[in-house]
Structures are given as C-alpha cells and as structure tokens.
C-alpha cells in the first residue's frame, strides 16, 4: 500500500517538482531561539555541532509509560542521541473540542523519560501522521466534517486548531530552550502527493506553520517529504524519507538490484543546499498486513545486511540528521491499526515488539558508535555522487563514494558497496586513494580487500583517534577513546577478512606493533619514515599494541557486537559535554556505566552468563566494579591494562498458568438476535444526508462514523414487515481489508462473508432459510468488523472518509419491502466513550464490550462454565473470562505472549483478546498471520491477579473454537531495568445506559 503510495508520489512529484525554494514558498521563520541552530552540514546544539542520529518509537503503541525508559535506554545504548515520535490526534481528541492527555496519552512521562535517558526528541504531531494508524491519525469525527482535509479549507483548518494548540503547548513546555529534550517539531507528514486536480497547498503549509508557532513552539520546524521532491520547503529544515527495500516481507531475500538510492543526494541538494542532509525516516523494518508474512520476515528483509548496505549509503551522503523508522514498533492494541496492519506493529524493527533485541540492533550499534566518535564526518560532502561506480577500486562491480571533510582536517571516508545491491558475489578490490602520504593503494602490504555479497564498508583515511593518526584503515571503526593517556581503538571486520590499518607518527620514530592478546597474527610494514601499516585477519578478538600510545582491539563482527560504550545515566547533555571514556565488552545489553569513589557501576541485561572486559581509566575502577549492584566476580587485570570478570545470569523458571486448565466462564455476547431483546437504546440511523464524499445508495445513511462510531465491531438492526415474497437479502458492507460480516434474520443465522486479506468491502446475497408470512414483523441483525479507517496519504484526498457500514441493500424477491427503521450500535457512548483510561479505540460495539465484560472485577459468577477452546456450536458471539495470578520476580524481564494455534476445522472465526481490560489481540483465524500476541509487563500484572477475556465470533453454522490458547514466554532476560509500574488496570463499574 505504501509502496503504491510512494509510486504515486513519485509520479506526482515529478510532475509537480518545483525545485529549490521559489517565490511561491513562504519565507523561513526568523530564529526564535539560539539553542538549536544549523548550517549546510549539521545541526548545532548550544553551538556544538552534532549529528542527530536516532530512530522512531510511538508512545501510544506502548501504553505502559514506565516502559518508555526501557526502550529509550536501549536506543541510547546503540550510540544514538535522538528519538522521534508521532503523536496521534485521533486518540487525543476523539471527541471534537475535548483534547485529552489522560493516561497513556499524557506526553509528559515520555518527555521525562527521554530526558532521563539522555535522548533528544523530534516530535511529529501531524496533524496527519499516516503511521499505519486508523485514519492516518485523523479523528473519526473528521469523516463527517465537510471540506478537503490536508488543505487550507477553513473547515479542516478549524478542525485541527484545538489539537495543534494543545499539543503544541505541551511540546513548547518541553523544548530544549526550557530545559526539556525536544529539539525539533515536524509539521505534517509526507505532504508529498495530492489527489487530482489538487496540488501543493502553500496556504495550508503557511497556516499550519503559523498555528504551530502560535502555540509557543520556538524550536526549528521540519518536514519529511516522501522523497526529495521539493515539497513543503517553507519549513526551517526540509528533509525526506526513504524505504529502499520496500515492504514485501513475503520475499525477504529479494532486493532490487539498483536499490541503493544514490540519487537522493543530488535531488536533495537541489532543494535545500543550505540545510543539513536530513532523512527523517529511513526504513528500519516494514509494514505487514493481514495475511502477511509476519514481523520476523520483515526483520530479514531489513536485517543486518540491509543495514550495512543502505545505512552506509546514507553515510555516503553526509546525512547528519537520520532517523530510523521504526526502532521499536510496538503494538496496535485496541483499534489503532488501519486496515493494512494487524495487532502487531513489530515491524521487524531492531527492538522487537516484546522489547528484546534482534541482531540488527547490534549492527546499528556498530554504525551509531562510529558516527559518535567521528566529528570529521559532520562537515563532509560526498565528492563523486553519480560517478561512484568503479571509482577508487577500478572494479565496475563496486561503487565507492568519497566523503571528505571539507572544513576540518581533510579526513576521508570511502563507502564501498556493490553496484548491484542484490548480488551475493564476492568482489576482491584494492582501494587507491589520496592520503596525507600521497596516493596509496590499500592494502599496501599485499593481497586484496574483499566485499562479500550484501555488504558495505566505510574505510577511513587520515582519521584522528585521540592523538593517534590513522593514515587509513580498511577495518571499520567501532569506537575509540583515550584512556589513561593511551588511545584505545576498536576495529572490526567480518570473520576471516583481511584488513589493513596504517598509522602516521609525528613526534616519535615508527614503533613496531605486537599482539598482546588473542590468537590473531599481524604483518607489518613501514610505509615511510613516519608511517607503519599492519595487516591482519579479523577473527575472534586480538589485541595489538602499537608503540606505547595505542592499543587496537581487532574483532570480528560477532565480537564487535558485544562491545558497548555505555552512557552515563541521566546525562542528558552527554552529547555536548565530555563523558567518561569507558568501553565494555559485555554481551546482551549494557544500559549505563557510572563511577563514584573509584567504583564502576554497570547496569545491564543478561540473557546468559557473560564475561566482561572493562576498558576504563584505572581510577574509575580501583575500588571495584558492580553489575546491577552486585560486585563482579573473578575480576582480573589483563597484561594490556583492561579488567576482565564474569557476571552470572540467573534465569529461573517461573510458573505460568496453564490457561486451558483454568476455570473459565462464558456468556452469550449476541443477545441482540433474541426475540425479547429491545434495541430502544440503540442509535436510530435516520440521517438522510451526509457530507461524506461517497454518496450513499440507501434511503438513510448507514455509515457508522456518521453516527459517531469509529472503531471495533459495528452492529446494525433493520426492522421490517414482510411482504411474504422475500427469499433473501443482498447487501454491500464496507469494513476495510480483512473485515467480515454475519447476518441473522430474527434468531436465525442467515450467513456470513468471512473475509479475506484482499477485500475491504463485499456485496453478498444471502438466502433466507424460512419463508416469511405477509405482514409479519422481523429484524435483520448485521454484525460487521471494522478494520480501522483508511489512511489519507494524498493531500486533498479524502480516503480516510471511506465509509464503514452498509452501502446498499435489497430484499431478494421483494423490491417493495421497506425497512421501517435502521439502528446502529458501536462502542458504548461513541465519541463519549466510557473508558477514559484505555481511550477511545479500546472497545468496539460487541454486547460484551458495551457492558464492560472485558474489564477486571466484572462479576461473572452467574455465568456458566465454558472455555474458548470449547467454543460455541453454532454461528454467534460468545464471551469468555478467566483470571490467573502471576508472580515473576523483580529483576527479570520475561516477556509474555498469548499464543493461539490456527484452527483448520471451522476456520472462520474472529477473536479479540483482552488482558486486564486492554484489547491486546485481534485474531482472524482464516486470514492471519498473527498467532502470537505479545502483552507487555504492566498490562499483564506480573505480581498478582490478571483478568483474561476472549470474544469469539463464529462465522459459520458449525460454530468455532480456538484450537489452543497459551501464555508463553518469548525470552528470558535478567534485567537491570526496573521497576515496571502497571498501567492503570481500572476495574469494571456499572455502566450508565449500557445496552
Ligand atoms: C512513511 C510514513 C510513515 C509510515 C511509513 C511506512 O511513508 O511517513 O508514517 O507510514 O511510511 O511504515
């Protein structure tokens, strides 16, 4: 879907491309503050130049605020310094005029956590966000607000005022200018393509910028074009997005041959040469839709090889503002998703939905740390864009971009990758480059370098690491630090690769290098009276001493993955203030390292017993080292100055409930079809007009949103008197991709459209099983699924207004039958939703949901016993509840998932899973793909009682049941993070006018 959008965008952009800022563009804001400034190379904070490298998470996709810090520390631990967030208008202002920051919608805990983690924040509140969210972030009431959205149309501009003002004020209060972490404010989102005949609406852009400023925001305003197409360039700093590997997670090994987008540089420099190269979204995973391949596949499509090739291509373009979308995806709990996404928003991101770390996380860490210690990069320019093929290697199968520091000390970065990005071939090459010693061919000692398949490397020339001058290095740099007067440089390559690193010495004679630890060997050669080259194979870990001033750690990738440069906790200013030079080899995750009184305190997570190697000034460790508060055992000094020790992981088994042996209670959740059911509290669907751009084909409007119902299941009731000739009912229902519906005539099941992963609406004809007596009165009940509102990627488009409901209907055999009244039910209260804690998207319109049966402490004692794995024997909706206790000790991060196995008998059913009242799973058995539903600690109460509720909508005559339902651990981690505070697990209270 997004791919399509992008293609449309490309076409549109090339037809509309306006080039650099022109007279039609509004002038830039004059600076309102001097804390965040920029020039053509990079941003500066308080005058210090820095790269803003980081990635995206969405607080609303993790409704446990105490876990924000967990994710943010994980981001910080990669070496990144920035987190970018969307803010979702539709959940903040579900009812027009009432902007709510209640519960998980409160932004303050996120800003506080970012500050604590030491990350700068880019806020992206829209008003439009896309983000695979229902309506693309627009509120449901937008569907019945007339006028074109994402334009200067007054009705739209008025509609967003309240939200932009309220959210702007919160952001303004958390700007860096006021001591907060927020440094940038993104306006709109990919305002890049427009529905014909409309084009870019400069008046809207101008107006939005003014409205943002009016809310008190003084930091620079940015925007993200879908690609460098020159749209919305009136912002302070223009940037763009790039998803070079697309979204086909079903073919995760398929890369486009020409996918490495070198052209981005030329396009963007034509637009904003005076700004840094800013990529506000760079693919960090992929969307997966109903019937898709699953997040794990998306993680392969965008795995470590992808990161090496595509992220280093960004590096080749002097990208100093770079944000990965997503670093942590999270969960589309409740009705967050648009129809192209299911409950999981794992995204195949570096930090998986259950908050564990994928291998790709560790690859990012290598690159981010390199950026952090390479200030020369901040003033670079790529020198040979478009002419990189064969350059510097003479090998046409390779592209090498020369990225030179054009301001500072002339450091060069040479980014090498395959010309055909998709190839698995190995290319041997030599790099011939200008250096301070004249033109050199690397390796100088002999042999050649090699690029193995989908890989890319950054070779440095004339690079400073403290007082050590690297003449060049083909082995990549992870980090370096000056420790007790010596420069420690951590180099890495793939296992078994030959690399060469050379040094220039100013004041001393050329020393010899010697291996002081590890099994690797080196060859060395004096290149001149001032320079020495060493050649080595990267495998395992080898430590080499070069003279008495430089120590090299030579690692293969596996070993490099284990190295960390742990930040000092709460050191918000660390990017601009000197930090303690501490490097630690330490396994799964190191969150922070602090020193006091000669004792080093490391906080981290373990998934196995791990050896540590601590490379730190002696004074910082002289009275010991602790890991998560406990002294590190077997601490020893190595012969080359570091400290080694061991930390044991204690990963005890924990008792989990066996869900099938619990006591479950069940009740019918479709009493609406019963004879004695009164629908007097239902909303009468009696509008004869709508402003919706889709013209209804029915006498009264049957669009759920026109009656205030924007999420979850929708029920319709049609009352009629029979002519006696009716033999069936034909109807066209719209619900979004993978939706379905079922129909009952009075109490009798008529039929279902079970749904598939393609159709977003379906016209079906359903036969009545009984003939109707002339004059008899009847009720048709239609239960439909609502998969979220469409997104609205095109400006001036109205896709998000695409109705959910009944588009047309007729009786088969009887044109004259008149439906006397249509009624509709959605979530209780509609826009006046009841559960303010869990927000407007948590509940749908099922009877059970309207009654609040999914909530803790609802009294189900009078219900009968029955389990979702027993199911129900006919079409209908049943609801199940059970409770269980958990007792998982503090200090363990044991993520849990609810796991369902696919049913092949009676496959057509839909279930929703509620954990302590939070809807944490929407399962469509016959569509898939998701069968494992991660539920975070904090939604699950790890220390006490939990309520689990399940709805089961059997869509076939034969009924349905869950083949199995289990609570399973997805990882066992011992963590230094904590404590986790439960999200508010508010309990059931009587619901006014629940029906
Ligand atoms: C971008 C968009 C994001 C998200 C992403 C795909 O184009 O800005 O909001 O939809 O695509 O995941």
Q: Which string of DSSP letters, residue by residue, matches 529-585? A: TTEEEEEEEE-SEEEEEETTTEEEEEEEHHHHHTEE-PPPTT-TTTTTS-----EEE
Q: CA-to-CA distance for 167 and 187, rounded, in angstroms?
A: 12
> Is the whole-model pTM more than 0.85?
yes
Q: For residue 859, what pLDDT is reported?
A: 98
Mean pLDDT score of the chain, rounded to an integer? 95
CA of 326 to the centre of ligand 1 (A): 9
Q: For residue 754, what pLDDT is reported?
A: 98
Of ligand 1's listed atoms, the one at least distance from the Cα of 5 is: 7
Categorise residue 784: left if φ over 0, alpha if ψ from -120 to 50, beta otherwise. Answer: beta
**CA gyration radius for the chain?**
30
Of ligand 1's listed atoms, the one at least distance from the Cα of 190 is: 8
Q: Place domain 378-594 in its CATH homologous superfamily.
A: Beta-galactosidase, domain 2 (2.102.20.10)
Contact 670, 876 (CB under 8 A): yes
How distant, in Å, are the alpha carbons of 112, 187, 964 from that of 936?
21, 31, 21
Residues 252, 229, 339: CA angle, nearest 5 degrees = 45
Residue nearest to atom 4 of ligand 1 (CA): 131
The number of angstroms, rounded, from the C-alpha of 628 to the middle of its chain's C-alpha atoms is 29
By DSSP bridging, strand 513-517 and strand 522-528 are: unpaired
Of ligand 1's listed atoms, the one at least distance from the Cα of 6 is: 7
Contact 401, 415 (CB under 8 A): yes
What would the pLDDT profile of 82-131 be if each residue is shown by its tens digit?
999 999 999 999 999 999 999 999 999 999 999 999 999 999 999 999 99
CATH of 4-353, one of 3.90.1150.10, 3.20.20.80, 3.50.50.60, 3.40.50.620: 3.20.20.80
Contact 127, 176 (CB under 8 A): no
Q: Which two tokens stand for residue 614?
A: 């601590």
Q: In what order do the strands lie in the sheet with 943-954?
A: 864-865, 665-668, 876-887, 943-954, 909-915, 918-924
Residue/partner pairs of 652-656 with CB below 8 Å, 24 or more apart: 652/889, 652/892, 654/887, 654/888, 654/889, 654/892, 654/894, 654/969, 655/887, 656/886, 656/896, 656/967, 656/968, 656/969
Q: CA-to-CA distance for 3 and 246, rounded, in angstroms?
A: 7
CA of 298 to the centre of ligand 1 (A): 15
Task: Name the 3-class secondary structure at 849.
Answer: helix
Q: In what order do the strands lie in the sheet with 683-684?
A: 683-684, 819-825, 714-721, 777-784, 741-745, 748-753
Contact 672, 851 (CB under 8 A): no
Q: CA-to-CA distance for 489 and 209, rounded, in angstroms?
A: 46
**Would you identify the CATH topology of the domain 671-825?**
Jelly Rolls (2.60.120)
Q: Out of 27-41, 539-553, 717-731, pick the least confident.
A: 27-41
Q: For residue 49, what pLDDT is reported?
A: 93
Residue nearest to atom 9 of ligand 1 (CA): 131
- Percent of the chain residues past pLDDT 90, beyond the cut: 93
Q: Among candidates 99, 113, 278, which has minimal Cα distance to 184?
A: 278
Q: CA-to-CA distance for 698 and 623, rounded, in angstroms?
A: 80
933 φ, ψ to 5°?
-115, 95
Q: CA-to-CA distance for 878 and 338, rounded, in angstroms?
A: 26
Site of tokens 């030599």: 430
Q: Which two tokens stand for residue 677?
A: 């059911």
Q: For residue 259, what pLDDT is reported?
A: 76
Q: Which helix (H) or strand (E) holds 786?
A: none
Q: For residue 28, what pLDDT is reported?
A: 57
Pocket of ligand 1 (CB under 6 A): 2, 129-132, 189-190, 226, 241, 281, 287, 325
Q: Among candidates 595, 597, 569, which has minimal Cα distance to 582?
A: 595
In this prediction, residues 519-532 reach a mean pLDDT of 96
Residues with catalytic roles: 190, 281
In 385-507, which ranges are E strands? Answer: 398-405, 412-418, 426-429, 431-435, 438-442, 449-452, 456-465, 468-473, 476-483, 486-493, 497-504
Q: CA-to-CA distance for 142 and 708, rounded, in angstroms?
A: 10
What would the pLDDT profile of 158-203 be if each residue is shown by its tens digit?
999 999 999 999 999 999 999 999 999 999 999 999 999 999 999 9
CA of 794 to the centre of ligand 1 (A): 12
CA of 209 to the centre of ligand 1 (A): 22
Contact 56, 323 (CB under 8 A): yes
| 3-state SS string for 171-200 | HHHCEHHHCCCEEEEECCCCCCCECCCCCC
Task: Name the 3-class secondary structure at 290.
Answer: coil
Whether pLDDT at 215 is above 60 = yes
Whether pLDDT at 27 is above 60 = no
What would the pLDDT profile of 670-709 be if each residue is shown by its tens digit?
999 999 999 999 999 999 999 999 999 999 999 999 999 9
Categorise residue 175: left if φ over 0, alpha if ψ from -120 to 50, beta otherwise. Answer: beta
CA of 967 to the centre of ligand 1 (A): 32
Of ligand 1's listed atoms, the one at least distance from the Cα of 224 is: 8
556: β partners? 493
Q: For residue 572, what pLDDT is reported?
A: 52
Q: For residue 3, what pLDDT is reported?
A: 41
pLDDT classification of 569: cutoffs 50, 70, 90: low
Burial class (CB in 10 A: 0-12, 13-18, 19+), 383: middle
Contact 118, 74 (CB under 8 A): no
CA of 935 to the centre of ligand 1 (A): 24
Of ligand 1's listed atoms, the one at least distance from the Cα of 131 is: 9
Instruction: Work out the widest C-alpha separation in the chain, in whole angstroms.
Output: 109
Task: Name the 3-class secondary structure at 678.
Answer: coil
**CB atoms closer than 10 angstroms to residue 818:** 11
Q: For residue 260, what pLDDT is reported?
A: 80
The number of angstroms, rounded, from the C-alpha of 588 to the middle of its chain's C-alpha atoms is 21
Mutate to test the pocket of ligand 1, among 12, 325, 342, 800 (most ligand atoms within 8 A of CB): 325
Residue nearest to atom 12 of ligand 1 (CA): 287
Q: For residue 7, what pLDDT is reported?
A: 43
Residue nearest to atom 3 of ligand 1 (CA): 131
CATH number of this structure's domain 846-974: 2.60.120.260
- Which residues have CB under 8 Å from 156's CB, separation 6+? 145, 147, 148, 149, 150
Q: For residue 10, what pLDDT is reported?
A: 43
61 φ, ψ to 5°?
-95, 10
15 φ, ψ to 5°?
-80, -25
Burial class (CB in 10 A: 0-12, 13-18, 19+), 379: buried
CA of 64 to the centre of ligand 1 (A): 24
What would the pLDDT profile of 888-937 be if each residue is shown by its tens digit?
999 999 999 999 999 999 999 999 999 999 999 999 999 999 999 999 99
Q: For residue 5, what pLDDT is reported?
A: 43
Q: Where are the domains of the chain?
A: 4-353, 378-594, 671-825, 846-974
Q: CA-to-CA distance for 516 and 990, rounded, in angstroms?
A: 73
CA of 830 to the centre of ligand 1 (A): 28
What would the pLDDT profile of 469-523 be if each residue is shown by its tens digit?
999 999 999 999 999 999 999 999 999 999 999 999 987 899 999 999 999 999 9
Q: CA-to-CA distance for 301 and 370, rounded, in angstroms?
A: 24
Site of tokens 């991660």: 934
Residue nearest to atom 7 of ligand 1 (CA): 226
Say yes or no: do domains 671-825 and 846-974 share a fold: yes
Mutate to test the pocket of ligand 1, among 6, 88, 132 (most ligand atoms within 8 A of CB): 132
What would the pLDDT profile of 713-762 be if each residue is shown by its tens digit?
999 999 999 999 999 999 999 999 999 999 999 999 999 999 999 999 99
- Which residues have CB under 8 Å from 596's CB, separation 6+? none
Of ligand 1's listed atoms, the one at least distance from the Cα of 285 is: 12
CA of 474 to the centre of ligand 1 (A): 35
Residue nearest to atom 10 of ligand 1 (CA): 131
Burial class (CB in 10 A: 0-12, 13-18, 19+), 47: exposed
What would the pLDDT profile of 609-659 be if each residue is shown by its tens digit?
999 999 999 999 999 999 999 999 889 999 999 999 999 999 999 999 999
Q: CA-to-CA distance for 819 and 699, rounded, in angstroms?
A: 9
pLDDT classification of 24: cutoffs 50, 70, 90: very low
CA of 972 to the centre of ligand 1 (A): 32
What would the pLDDT profile of 749-807 be if each residue is shown by its tens digit?
999 999 999 999 999 999 999 999 999 999 999 999 999 999 999 999 999 999 999 99
Q: CA-to-CA distance for 455 and 881, rounded, in angstroms?
A: 51
By DSSP bridging, strand 741-745 and strand 748-753 are: antiparallel
Q: CA-to-CA distance for 765 and 754, rounded, in angstroms?
A: 13
In this prediction, residues 219-243 reach a mean pLDDT of 97
Whether pLDDT at 571 is above 60 = no
Q: Which two tokens stand for residue 575?
A: 């990017």
Q: Among candidates 918, 919, 900, 914, which has minimal Cα distance to 960?
A: 900
Q: Which two tokens stand for residue 275?
A: 């700004």
Q: For residue 573, what pLDDT is reported?
A: 46
Whether pLDDT at 228 is above 50 = yes
């Amino acid at each position: 879907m997004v791919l399509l959008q992008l293609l449309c965008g490309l076409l549109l952009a090339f037809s509309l491309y306006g080039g650099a800022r022109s007279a039609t563009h509004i002038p830039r804001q004059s600076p309102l503050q001097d804390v965040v400034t920029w020039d053509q190379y990079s941003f500066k904070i308080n005058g210090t130049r820095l790269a803003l490298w980081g990635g995206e998470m969405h607080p609303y996709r993790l409704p446990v605020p105490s876990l924000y810090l967990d994710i943010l520390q994980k981001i910080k631990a990669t070496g990144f310094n920035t987190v970018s967030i969307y803010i979702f208008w539709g959940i903040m202002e579900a009812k027009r005029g009432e902007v709510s920051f209640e519960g998980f919608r409160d932004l303050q805990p996120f800003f506080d956590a970012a500050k604590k983690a030491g990350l700068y924040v880019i806020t992206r509140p829209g008003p439009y966000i896309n983000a695979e969210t229902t309506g693309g972030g627009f509120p449901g009431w937008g569907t019945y607000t007339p006028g074109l959205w994402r334009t200067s149309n007054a009705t739209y501009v008025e509609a967003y005022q309240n939200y932009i003002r309220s959210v702007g004020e919160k952001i303004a209060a958390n700007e860096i200018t006021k001591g907060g972490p927020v440094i940038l404010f993104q306006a709109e989102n990919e305002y890049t393509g427009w529905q014909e005949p409309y084009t870019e609406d400069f008046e809207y852009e101008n107006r939005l910028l003014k409205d943002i400023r009016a809310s008190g925001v003084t930091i620079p305003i940015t925007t993200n074009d879908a690609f460098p197409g020159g749209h919305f360039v009136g912002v302070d700093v223009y940037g763009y997005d790039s998803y070079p590997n697309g979204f086909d997670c079903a073919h995760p090994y398929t890369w486009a041959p020409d996918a490495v987008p070198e052209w981005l540089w030329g396009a963007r420099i034509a637009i904003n040469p005076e700004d840094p190269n800013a990529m506000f979204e760079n693919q960090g995973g992929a969307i997966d839709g109903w019937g898709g391949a699953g997040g794990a596949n998306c993680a392969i499509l965008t795995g470590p090889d992808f990161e090496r090739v595509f992220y280093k291509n960004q590096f080749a373009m002097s990208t100093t503002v770079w944000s990965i979308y997503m670093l942590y995806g999270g969960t589309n709990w409740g009705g967050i998703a648009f129809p192209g996404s299911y409950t999981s928003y794992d995204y195949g991101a570096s930090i998986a939905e259950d908050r564990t770390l994928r291998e790709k996380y560790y690859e990012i860490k290598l690159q981010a740390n390199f950026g952090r210690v390479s200030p020369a990069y901040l003033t670079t320019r790529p020198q040979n864009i478009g002419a990189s093929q064969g350059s510097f290697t003479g090998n046409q199968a390779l592209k090498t971009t020369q990225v030179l520091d054009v301001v500072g000390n002339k450091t060069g970065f040479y980014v090498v990758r395959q010309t055909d990005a998709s190839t698995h071939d190995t290319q041997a090459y030599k790099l011939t480059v200008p250096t301070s010693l004249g033109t050199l061919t690397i390796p100088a000692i002999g042999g050649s370098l090699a690029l193995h398949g989908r890989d890319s490397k950054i070779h440095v020339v004339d690079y400073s690491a403290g007082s050590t001058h690297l003449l060049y290095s083909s082995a990549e740099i992870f980090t370096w630090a000056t420790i007790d007067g010596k420069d420690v440089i951590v180099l890495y390559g793939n296992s078994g690769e030959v690399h060469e690193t050379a040094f220039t010495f100013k004041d001393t004679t050329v020393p010899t290098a010697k291996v002081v630890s590890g099994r690797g060997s080196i060859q060395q050669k004096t290149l001149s009276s001032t320079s020495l080259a060493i050649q080595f194979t990267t495998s395992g870990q080898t430590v080499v001493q070069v003279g008495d001033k430089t120590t090299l750690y030579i690692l293969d990738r596996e070993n490099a993955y284990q190295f960390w440069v742990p930040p000092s906790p709460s050191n918000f200013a660390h990017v601009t203030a000197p930090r303690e030079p501490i490097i630690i080899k330490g396994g799964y995750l190191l969150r922070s390292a602090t020193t006091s009184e000669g004792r080093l305190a490391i906080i981290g997570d373990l998934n196995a017993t791990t050896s540590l190697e601590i490379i730190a000034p002696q004074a910082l460790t002289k009275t010991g080292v602790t890991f998560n508060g406990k002294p590190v055992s077997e601490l020893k000094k190595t012969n080359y100055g570091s400290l080694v020790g061991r930390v044991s992981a204690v990963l005890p088994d924990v008792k989990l409930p066996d869900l099938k042996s619990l006591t479950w209670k069940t009740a019918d959740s479709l009493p609406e079809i019963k004879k004695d059911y009164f629908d007097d509290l239902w909303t009468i669907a009696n509008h004869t007009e709508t402003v919706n751009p889709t013209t209804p084909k029915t006498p009264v409007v049957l669009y759920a949103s026109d009656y205030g119902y924007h999420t979850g299941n929708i029920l319709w009731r049609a009352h009629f008197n029979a002519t006696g000739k009716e033999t069936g009912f034909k109807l066209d229902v719209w619900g979004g991709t993978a939706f379905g519906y079922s129909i009952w005539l009075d109490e009798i099941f008529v039929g279902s459209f079970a749904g598939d992963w393609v159709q977003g609406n379906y016209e079906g004809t359903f036969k009545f099983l009984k003939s109707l007596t002339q004059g008899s009165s009847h009720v048709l009940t239609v239960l439909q699924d609502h998969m979220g509102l469409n997104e609205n990627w095109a400006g001036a488009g109205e896709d998000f207004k695409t109705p959910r409901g009944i588009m047309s209907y007729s009786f088969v055999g009887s044109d004259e039958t008149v439906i006397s009244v249509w009624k509709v039910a959605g979530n209780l209260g509609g826009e006046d939703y009841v559960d303010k804690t869990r927000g407007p998207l948590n509940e749908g319109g099922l009877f059970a949901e309207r009654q609040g049966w999914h909530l803790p402490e609802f009294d189900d004692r009078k219900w009968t016993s029955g389990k979702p794995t027993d199911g129900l024997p006919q079409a209908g909706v049943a609801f199940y509840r059970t409770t269980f206790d958990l007792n998982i000790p503090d200090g363990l991060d044991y993520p849990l998932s609810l796991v369902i196995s696919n049913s092949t008998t009676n496959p057509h059913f839909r279930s929703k899973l509620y954990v302590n009242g939070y809807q944490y799973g929407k399962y469509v058995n016959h569509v898939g793909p998701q069968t494992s539903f991660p539920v975070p600690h904090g939604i699950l109460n790890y220390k006490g009682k939990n309520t689990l509720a399940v709805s089961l909508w059997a869509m076939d005559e034969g009924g349905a049941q869950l083949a199995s339902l289990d609570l399973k651990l997805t990882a066992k981690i011992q963590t230094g993070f904590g404590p986790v505070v439960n999200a508010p697990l508010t309990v059931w209270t009587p619901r006014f006018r629940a029906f």
